[in-house]
Amino acid sequence: MDLLELLKKRYSVRKFSDKKIEQEKLDLILEAARVAPTAVNYQPQRILVIESEEALDKLKNCTPYHFNAPLALLICYDKNVSWKRGCDSYDMGEVDASIVTTQMMLEIENLGLGTTWVGSFKPDALKDEFNIPDNFIPVAILPIGYPAVDAAPSPFHSQRLDITETVFYNTFK
């Protein structure tokens, strides 16, 4: 499938069937993360696979946006590893973790699975439940599964600004 076609087909899936995700598919999703570009190639991403019933239950204490998915990924970056820009010390870890998450989100779509990028979670609850070291910063959760037969895009999916509102040529003024 053409990439732009895949990008347009993807939507945030918030209702899943009970069907488990095959290990081979999970491996492909994680491979999409592994090959992601990161600043200075420091690869600060740290990904937790949440798949046991106990761990999935713990996730429910951290976010209401778990959608009862049969599997979830928690994407963090290690702030002791991520590149800091020289001129202002800006930490690129969140950018790196976002690229990693985006690549996995697209591979998930490519495999016929569904997900929603979840940024609304309680970081402290995640740290407690999953023993996240202090230097790991949680950035995103991807609940993943096969879309339920009646899964459908939210109205937001079709609401994108006109390109003239977000793209400028040569100067912003």
Footprint of ligand FMN on this chain (CB under 6 A)?
11-12, 65, 116-120, 153-154, 156-157
Give the residues across from 77 on adjacent strands: 45, 137
Closest approach, Cβ 99 to ligand FMN, in A, equals 12
Q: Considering beta carbons, is residue 65 or 136 the nearer one to ligand FMN?
A: 65
Does residue 59 contact residue 66 with C-beta atoms inside 8 Å?
A: yes
Closest to 13 (Cα-Cα) out of 98, 112, 122, 140: 112
Q: Considering beta carbons, is residue 9 or 22 the nearer one to ligand FMN?
A: 9
Nearby residues of 44 by Cβ (< 8 Å), 6 or more positions away: 38, 77, 78, 79, 81, 82, 83, 93, 96, 97
Name the one residue in this structure whose structure tokens are 């937001």: 156
In this structure, how many other beta carbons lie within 10 angstroms of the beta carbon of residue 135?
14
Closest approach, Cβ 117 to ligand FMN, in A, equals 4
Q: Considering beta carbons, is residue 17 or 102 the nearer one to ligand FMN?
A: 102
Closest approach, Cβ 25 to ligand FMN, in A, equals 20
Q: Considering beta carbons, is residue 80 or 154 the nearer one to ligand FMN?
A: 154
Closest approach, Cβ 173 to ligand FMN, in A, equals 28
